[in-house]
Amino acid sequence: MSILNMDLSRIIEKTSKEIEFSGVIGVKAGDDVIHSSAHGYSNRADEIMNTTETKFGIASGCKLFTAIAIAS
């Protein structure tokens, strides 16, 4: 792992704890995944942690994708 990747991972870990982020972060450079990490709970009530394989519902997020596709 390069120094840049280690710094990126350290910053992401620190910031995700500070803001109590719950989700998954992926960073790519070209075709290469340079960072992938999961944070927080996917289900707080049952204390189930997020993983990089956690599936998230996007609810009304589809509207944004449709609007961008139409505007393009």
pLDDT digits (tens, 9 = 90+) for 11-68: 999 999 999 999 999 999 899 999 999 999 999 999 999 999 999 877 666 777 778 8
- pLDDT of 61 reads 66
Q: Which residue has the tokens 């960072």?
A: 35
The residue extents of the domains of the chain are 3-71
pLDDT band at 1 (very low <50, low <70, confident <90, very high): low
Rounded distance, CA 20 to CA 56, Å?
18
Rounded distance, CA 62 to CA 37, Å?
24
Contacts of 15 (CB under 8 A, 6+ apart): 21
- pLDDT of 16 reads 95
- pLDDT of 68 reads 83
Q: How many CB atoms lie within 10 A of CB 68?
A: 9
Q: How is residue 56 written in tokens? A: 């998230």
CB 16 within 8 A of CB 28: no
* Length of the chain as a residue count: 72
